[in-house]
Amino acid sequence: MGLTLAPIVLMAAWLAGQASAVVGAPLAWGCLGLGLTLSAYLGTCFHLSVLGGVKALRRHMINISMGELRNDIQAKGKDEFTRLMHELNNKSDRKSSSSQKSILN
C-alpha cells in the first residue's frame, strides 16, 4: 500500500511547493497536510468497513461448511458482501428444506 501512495504524496508535495509561490508557504503546506490526513482517514474507514464484511462472510461460510444450516444470516447494508450473505442465506434455506424433505421420506 505504501508504494501506491508514494507517487500521490510526491505529486501533492510538488503541487504544494508550486502553490506556495501563489498563496504562501504555510497555507499551501497546511492544505497539503489537511488533505493527506483526510485521505488517510477515509482510506482507513473504507478498509475497516470492507474488513468487517469479509469477516462476517467468512464466519457464515465456515458455519455452513460445518453443516450449520439453521442459523439465519442477518446482514445489514447494500454492499457486495451483504448481497453475498443474502445469497448464502437463500442457499442454506434451500439446502435445509431439501434435507428436511429427505429425512421425512
**Domain range spanning residue 24?**
2-104
CB-neighbour burial class of residue 16 (10 A; exposed 0-12, middle 13-18, buried 19+): buried
pTM of the model: 0.56
Domain count, the chain: 1
pLDDT surpassing 70 at residue 2? no
- The DSSP secondary-structure symbol of 68 reads -
Rounded to a whole number of angstroms, the distance between the first and last alpha carbons of the chain is: 56
pLDDT tens, position by position, 40-83: 898 899 888 888 888 888 888 888 788 877 777 777 778 888 88
pLDDT tens, position by position, 5-34: 677 777 777 777 777 667 777 777 787 888
Task: Give the containing element (helix H, strand E) for 37.
Answer: helix 25-65
> Can you give the pLDDT at residue 101?
56
